[in-house]
Structures are given as C-alpha cells and as structure tokens.
Chain A
Amino acid sequence: MTLLQVSELRLTFGGLVAIDGLSFSVNEAEIVSVIGPNGAGKTSAFNCVTGFYKPTGGTITFEGTSLLGMRPSAVAGVGISRTFQNLRLFGELSVLDNVRAGSHLWLKQSVFDALLHTPRYRRSERECTDEANHWLDFVGLRGDRYSAARNLPYGEQRRVEIARALARKPRLLLLDEPAAGLNHTEKAEMLDLIRRIRDLGIAIVLIEHDMGLVMQVSERIVVLNFGKEIADGRPEEVRRDPAVIEAYLGSDAHA
C-alpha cells in the first residue's frame, strides 16, 4: 500500500539546515500536500526525493527500493514524475515535443531503427505522438501544439508541464506549486485536473500555498516549518492543530 516512504530525512548546505528529520509516507492513489511557510524546506524535500539533492541523512524508499544515490533520471525510471516550481519547459521546442519527452523511458526504439526507418521506428514514433496528444487532451490544453512552448500563456505552460510528467506513465507525481500564478478559473480547473490524475491511480504529492485548494483536494497534509515536520494528518485535523495554527495558519485560520 505504501508507495513512497521518507524517514528521518536530513539535508544541510554547509552549516545551514534545510531539512531536519522529515518523515512522511504516501500511499497508492493518495493525494498528500506538503505545506509550510517559504523556506520551510518543501522544494528541498522534492529535490531529495527526485535525486537532484543528495540528502545528508535519512532514507527514501519507493515500493521498498531505496532511492538514495540514484541520479534523477533513474528516479524517473522507477516511476516518479515531477514538475518544477518555476516551469522548466523546453522553451524552443514545440508543445508536442515537450510532452513527447515524457515517452523517453518507455519508447522502444534503437538508433538503428531510427537510421533505417524500420517499421518499429514508425510504430514507436506514432505511439509516442499519440500518447503526447492523449495527455495534452487530458490536461485540456488550449492553444497550438506545434508552436514553441515558450509562446504559450503561463497557465497553458503549466498544463504542458503536467502533461509531460504524465506521459512518463508515473505511479507517483510530485507537483511543485502547480497553481502558483493562476487565476481563479484556472485554479478550479487545476483542482479538477489533480483529482482526475488521482483517479487514474496515480499518487500525488502537492506543494501548494493556496490553502483553499490544499484543503479541498488533499487526503492528508504534512506541515513543515524550518525544516521540521510539525504536523501530519487529515485536513480537518491539521486545521485544528495548535502548532500549525501558530506556525502557519495563525493569521489565516479561516482557510
């Protein structure tokens, strides 16, 4: 049942402690939010899980396999996808190509297939394009799929990034502030999208500042403050937790 298990995670930069003993777990097809004030170590935790940072201590396992020491592409290989806080699309490439990147790991095609244009090459290219189109439809992209990704409006770029992550066919999706910079309607659509992704059987870990969204969509919430975990529970429990109210929701208790 448990998909991702993070235990006693520690991360220090020189003398600065970014994460101090963080533990949480994610079950299959569950939506878990990680919240906390800026600088609490949320994105650092994502970077540890996905192999971009090497944790100083602790363990991270995915379906029982340790992820420590894996490079990010290997972490992607075990079935974890992510998005970035500040959009990291391949700006000069077309929207479709961006999403086709997601198929890199499962696409069966050798260099010789490509050089000789074998039937296998044609088949796999078609499969990869179909898959990309499927996910663009799924996230509801509006706009041209053939123009450079950087030409899309911001909200659409967010969708493309999620489509790219989904085309990887992950079991777990890490979303880093997917609603940041979106307007009210777009936020509602994002909420719906996150739920539809979960309905596909994909577990989601969400970093998000919009409390409304977090409370509505999450099954569990982990609260971080100064690199430490101060609460972990269902939304209504977290909302009532005095430590959380003091550290984070204090000024915004109605959220």
Chain B
Amino acid sequence: MNETTKAPEAPRKIGAQRPQTRLSKLFDNRWVGLVGLLIALLVPFVNASNYTMSIMTTAAVFVMLASGLNIVVGFTGLLDLGYAAFFAVGAYTSGILATRFDLPLVATVPAVIVVTVIAGVIIGAPTLRLRSDYLAIVTLGFGEIIRITANNLPVTGGPSGIYGIPGLTDSPVSLYFVTVVIVAIAVIGASRLGRSRLGRAMRFVREDEDAAEATGVHTYRVKLAAYIAGAVWGGLAGVLFAGQVSAISPNSFTFLYSATVLMAVVLGGMGSVPGVVLGAIIISLLPELLRDAADYRFFIFGVLLIIVMIVRPQGLWPARSKEALK
C-alpha cells in the first residue's frame, strides 16, 4: 500500500478525514443494504401466498435473531449457546401481557425491553466473569433452565404454552412488510452499534482482554453491555414471533434453535453484519428448498459447522478489518 506516513492528505479508505470519502463509503454500505431491503420488500409482489409470506416472515425474524447473536458472538467473541432463552423471554412476556390484559402487542414492547434487560443482567452478571469456554456451557444451561421453567410454571401455560396472542397486523402480507421494516431497523442498529465506541470496545475484548483493559476498557461492563444488547434484540424478535404464530410453547425454544441461530452467524461470518444477514437467510430458507433432506438437516448443519471452522472460519461474507470500523 502507498505510504501514508508523510502524506496525511492521501485518501483514507476508512478514515473520516475527508468528507467525500466518508460519504461515498456510507453510500457503499447503504447501497448493499438498500438493494437487499428492496428485494425483501418486492417478494410479496412476486408471490403473496400465505405459505410464502409465512416462511419469509419467519426468515426475517430469524435475521433479527442472528444480528442480535452476532453482537454477542461476532463482535465480542462470547459463545452463547442459549440464545433462544431471550427469544423465549421476549415471546412469553409479550404473549402473557397481551393475553392477560388484552393489550395490543405493540403495547407490550416497553415491558419486553425491561424484562429482557433484566434477564440479560441476571444471566450475564454471574457468568461473564468466567472463562469464555465455561460461559458457553453455562449459557446452554440457562437456555435449558428457561425452557424447563416455562414448561413447569402455570403462568406460562405449561407444556401447551400460550395461545390466542393477537397479531401485529391483520393480513399476512402487511405483517410481512411490518416485520421486514422492523428487522431492517434492528439490523441497521446492530451495524451502527458495531461501528461505535462501544462496538469497538467489544472487538477489543474479543481480540485481547488484557490489552483492552490496559487501554481503559472496562471489559466486564462491555461484555455485559453486549450481552444485554443481544438479549434485547432476541426479546424483540420474540415479540415478532409471538405476533406471527399467535401460539407459543416451550418446544419453540430448544437448544436446537439456539444452535441454528449460531449456525447462521458462523456461516455468514462472525462479526460481519451483511454476512450474518446472508447466513440467516440461507439457514432459514434452505430447509424449505431441500425438503427431501429434512432428516439429514441437523446432521448437515453439524458437519457444515466443522467444515466452516476448519476451511473458512471467517464465514461466507467476512468482516474485513478495514470495513470493521468505518
């Protein structure tokens, strides 16, 4: 590369030095995202059958989950194997409030945010001091605890769960549009978070905790913040899910589901927002395309995880170090 030492005016590929460069970079990012969003919004004009709308809405919710998990696993490097727990907390909080108090789903959102933040703190506070590999198993344990608790408590409806949750909108097509817009906002939010002071600190923690501490990053707080952000994203995705399916039960929130979200993040590229979106779309739509291989689905997932880690750990659409922080 050209020497920039003596030429501070040289175009900085990611620097904020020159307004034009910075703007064009922004445009670049938006462009890719906008095209993706446009394609997503055009789907109903091609095929608006209830079935298509249903799988596409599910895929959109899945994208939101993956972008939330990416904050924890991709940005911060903490392996969370119980992410479905937050999805469950969001869905149940919203479902219980909506059915008990006859509220529209939107009205439950503030409560969902509060409850997921609390859940994030309860799960994160004791475990984030642990070594990273212990964390993986503990989050898995928490995921199971949440699911079994939902299964055993009367307030969550036990094994049969909660039904009759009001929808966000009245038609599948409008639900799809609303979901896509909300998910797009969530994805942009995750991406902006990643390019902020806090997001950078998360990456420093991932790269080297001691060095991060030495530069003044309170690593524990940053990890907790990442965990809480992930929890809120997961919880809000849970609200969308509850509104879409109208009936939720503990079976929707198994370890298998957590692992599937993780698969999307790993396949797409840990730490890369566009990559994770791509990964989530692939993982959620692939089973629809390969119906015959349904029996082998999780076997293929498992093998794929190993292969990706050995052959291409950076994923399909890697986070480039120069792109990482605009």
Determine if B324 and A121 form an interchain contact, defined as CB atoms under 8 angstroms apart: no
Instruction: Indicate whether A52 reaches chain B with its CB closer than 8 angstroms.
Output: yes
B196-247: which have CB < 8 Å to A? Answer: 196-201, 203-204, 207-208, 210-219
Q: Which residue of B lies closest to A82 (CB)?
A: B214
Q: Which residue of B lies closest to A108 (CB)?
A: B197
Determine if A111 and B193 form an interchain contact, defined as CB atoms under 8 angstroms apart: yes
Known: A84-B211, A101-B200, A137-B8. A146 touches B216 (CB 8 A): no
Say which residue of A89, A125, A126 sits within 8 Å of B211 (CB atoms): A89
Rounded to whole angstroms, the CA-CA distance of A40 and B181 in the bound complex is 62
Q: Which of B11-19, B59-67, B101-109 contacts A (4 or more CB under 8 A)?
A: B11-19
Instruction: Indicate whether A133 reaches chain B with its CB closer than 8 angstroms.
Output: yes
Known: A76-B216, A168-B216. A109 touches B197 (CB 8 A): yes
Q: Which of A92-100, A198-206, A224-232, A241-249 contacts B (4 or more CB under 8 A)?
A: A92-100
Determine if B1 and A142 form an interchain contact, defined as CB atoms under 8 angstroms apart: no
Rounded to whole angstroms, the CA-CA distance of A68 and B4 in the bound complex is 42
Say which residue of B4, B8, B193, B324 sits within 8 Å of A93 (CB atoms): B324
Determine if B14 and A73 form an interchain contact, defined as CB atoms under 8 angstroms apart: no
Rounded to whole angstroms, the CA-CA distance of A125 and B199 in the bound complex is 12
Rounded to whole angstroms, the CA-CA distance of A78 and B322 in the bound complex is 31
Rounded to whole angstroms, the CA-CA distance of A128 and B321 in the bound complex is 17
Determine if A101 and B217 form an interchain contact, defined as CB atoms under 8 angstroms apart: yes
Please give, as numbers and ranges, the residues of chain B lying within 8 Å of A144 by CB-CB distance. 1, 4
Determine if A107 and B197 form an interchain contact, defined as CB atoms under 8 angstroms apart: yes
Known: A90-B203, A111-B193. A133 touches B17 (CB 8 A): yes
Say which residue of B203, B210, B325 sits within 8 Å of A52 (CB atoms): B210
Known: A94-B321, A97-B321, A109-B196. A164 touches B215 (CB 8 A): yes
Determine if B4 and A145 form an interchain contact, defined as CB atoms under 8 angstroms apart: yes
Rounded to whole angstroms, the CA-CA distance of A144 and B211 in the bound complex is 22
Rounded to whole angstroms, the CA-CA distance of A89 and B203 in the bound complex is 12
Known: A96-B14, A109-B196, A114-B199. A77 touches B216 (CB 8 A): yes
Determine if A114 and B215 form an interchain contact, defined as CB atoms under 8 angstroms apart: no
Interface size on A, residues (CB 8 A): 57
Please give, as numbers and ranges, the residues of chain A lying within 8 Å of B5 by CB-CB distance. 136-137, 140-142
Q: Which of B17, B210, B321, B325 has the most CB of A within 10 A?
A: B321
Determine if A73 and B218 form an interchain contact, defined as CB atoms under 8 angstroms apart: yes
A204-247: which have CB < 8 Å to B? Answer: none
Determine if B321 and A115 form an interchain contact, defined as CB atoms under 8 angstroms apart: no
Instruction: Indicate whether A21 reaches chain B with its CB closer than 8 angstroms.
Output: no
Instruction: Indicate whether B292 reaches chain A with its CB closer than 8 angstroms.
Output: no
Determine if B8 and A104 form an interchain contact, defined as CB atoms under 8 angstroms apart: no
Rounded to whole angstroms, the CA-CA distance of A91 and B324 in the bound complex is 13
Q: Which of A89, A91, A96 has the most CB of B within 10 A?
A: A96
A51-77: which have CB < 8 Å to B? Answer: 51-52, 71-74, 76-77
Show 15 residue pairs from A and B whose CB-CB distance is below 8 angstroms, ordered by the A residue. A90-B207, A90-B212, A94-B321, A105-B216, A111-B193, A114-B195, A115-B192, A125-B326, A126-B17, A129-B17, A133-B17, A140-B5, A143-B3, A145-B4, A145-B15
**6 extra interface residue pairs, beta carbon distance < 8 Å, beyond A90-B203, A97-B203, A104-B201:** A50-B214, A52-B210, A84-B210, A88-B214, A89-B208, A104-B204
Q: B residues within 8 Å of A by Cβ?
A: 1, 3-5, 8, 12-17, 189, 192-193, 195-201, 203-204, 207-208, 210-219, 321-322, 324-326
Q: A residues within 8 Å of B by Cβ?
A: 50-52, 71-74, 76-77, 81-82, 84, 88-94, 96-97, 100-105, 107, 109, 111, 113-115, 117, 121-122, 124-126, 128-130, 133, 136-137, 140-148, 164-165, 168
Q: Top 10 A-B pairs ranked by shortest CB distance?
A: A114-B196, A90-B207, A144-B1, A76-B216, A88-B211, A72-B213, A105-B216, A126-B16, A146-B322, A148-B321
